[in-house]
Amino acid sequence: MVSNNRIAKRHPAVLVLANREDDIQGVAQLISEQTNDFRCLVVKKTALDDIEQMAPKVILFALSDVKKSICLYNMLIKEKRLVKNHYSVLLCSNKESGLAFKCCLKNLFDSYFVYQPLYEKFRLQLIVYEGLKQFTDSDTYIESLDNIIQNQSEELNSLIEMGLSYKASVVEEINKSREEVNSINQDILNKLPDSMHKELLSELNETHIQPLLSALEESLSSKLLGLVDGLKQSKDLNNLLMQQLQQPIKDKQASELQGTGLSNGFLEEPESTQSILLVEDNHIYREMISDVLSNVGYEIEQVDDGLAAIKKIKLTQYDLIVMDLFLPNLDGLNTTKHIRNVGKNIKTPVVALTGNKNKQLVKKWAEHGLDGYILKPSTKQEILAVVNKAIGN
């Protein structure tokens, strides 16, 4: 646990700071997959002394709000507790992401990451890796990241390696051509009388610069065409990327919802066009689910809060309602109660969107007529499985 880790990591490469241990369990789990050289620290009275002694290379500030993180960081700098070079990362909730972005724009922090809710697993690990590689040999950390995503297909691995080789080759040729052009220019200009500027520059352009640029253009074109051919040979690449980047939900998450009376379904595509009302305040996740469902034939209407959903269900009959637990203005539980009592959708199945944070609330929601759940984040297959089962396909 965090409180018992004082001796184990006296000088961790990565340090996570938080007000409460429970707030950073997901973050700690992700970093532990990446490196063992880290420590989580609950900020108390002795925190400043502890941080100074540890001298971490990468510091993640995950206090309860952005203001507290800024104040702590300012205090550490002002009191010279961070005298060694380091990489600072501000962790924040989705509603404070704009403020976190501004902090990075002003160069107070080196990077930021939205960890409440925790959607983008790989991006956090990439941020930590970017910080670590500034101070240490990055090969070990690259190997650990490769192990995390080792389940991706050989086809995708080959495309990545091919793209890297092309990129390295292109950069090398551009740098080589630039050096040759600069060398030729300098040699000629050193010998060039003022009266002959225009004439010799024209000759230089025709006999040296243009042939070099033409050769470079031909080389780049050939390599890019090769990369395009490789991409064309990859079937369903977009689906493959989505499956790899959106990792399946762990067994631990699914087990926490046991006993709610809810279950996942089986993957099938809808037989005919059916309408779904999607109620989700996070626009990124809302668009992602909408794309998944619309791409297999469902008609999707989107709203971002409970009150807007109630207005919709009074006017329109839907085949399914997919709704987040935590919504502005009116939460998912009370919106579901209203659906079950008023309007055209009294019997319309409702599927929950949940980050698995409140098991009791999910159980309570299920008692009011919930027909399934989608954990966040989920793969395309998991989303379709639950939706198709709830809608009866």
pLDDT tens track for 49-103: 888 888 899 999 999 999 999 999 998 888 888 867 899 999 999 889 999 999 9
- What is the predicted pLDDT for the residue at 344? 78
Name the fold adopted by 251-391: Rossmann fold (3.40.50)
Residues constituting the chain: 393
Region for residue 252 given its phi and psi (left: phi exceeds 0; alpha: psi -120 to 50; beta: otherwise): alpha
More confident residue, 244 or 158: 158
Rounded to whole angstroms, the Cα distance separating 229 from 222 reads 11
**Is the per-residue pLDDT at 168 higher than 90?**
no
**Is the per-residue pLDDT at 155 higher than 50?**
yes
Q: Where are the beta strands (DSSP E) in the chain?
A: 14-18, 38-42, 58-62, 87-93, 111-116, 275-279, 299-303, 320-324, 350-354, 370-375
Local confidence band at 252 (pLDDT 50, 70, 90 cut-offs) = very low
Same topology, domains 8-148 and 251-391? Answer is yes
Percent helix / strand / coil, the chain, rounded to 5: 55, 15, 30
Class at the top of the CATH hierarchy for domain 8-148: alpha beta
Rounded to whole angstroms, the Cα distance separating 344 from 138 reads 58
CA-wise closest residue to 388 among 262, 265, 279, 263: 265
Beta strands 38-42 and 370-375: pairing type?
A: unpaired
State the amino acid at position 281 in one-letter form.
Answer: D
What six digits make up the tokens of 181?
Answer: 């052009």
Residue whose pair of structure tokens reads 């993957």 in the numeric block:
267
Rounded to whole angstroms, the Cα distance separating 79 from 83 reads 9
What six digits make up the tokens of 68?
Answer: 């507290």
Rounded to whole angstroms, the Cα distance separating 73 from 67 reads 10
**Is the per-residue pLDDT at 194 higher than 90?**
no
Domain ranges of the chain: 8-148, 154-232, 251-391
**Is the per-residue pLDDT at 227 higher than 90?**
no
- Contact yes or no for 343/352 (Cβ under 8 A): no
Rounded to whole angstroms, the Cα distance separating 24 from 283 reads 24
Phi and psi for 247 in degrees, rounded to 5?
Answer: -65, 145
More confident residue, 125 or 209: 125
- What is the predicted pLDDT for the residue at 203? 65
- Contact yes or no for 393/272 (Cβ under 8 A): no
- Contact yes or no for 351/385 (Cβ under 8 A): no
Rounded to whole angstroms, the Cα distance separating 359 from 369 reads 16
Return mean pLDDT, the chain.
Answer: 75
- Contact yes or no for 17/27 (Cβ under 8 A): no
State the amino acid at position 255 in one-letter form.
Answer: S
- Contact yes or no for 314/332 (Cβ under 8 A): no
Global pTM reads 0.43
Q: Is 155 helix (H, G, I), strand (E, B) or coil?
A: helix
- 204-233 mean pLDDT: 59
CA-wise closest residue to 337 among 315, 370, 304: 370
CA-wise closest residue to 152 among 235, 244, 32: 244
Residue 183: burial class (beta carbons within 10 Å; 0-12, 13-18, 19+): exposed
Q: 79-93, 208-222, 319-333: which has the minimum mean pLDDT?
A: 208-222
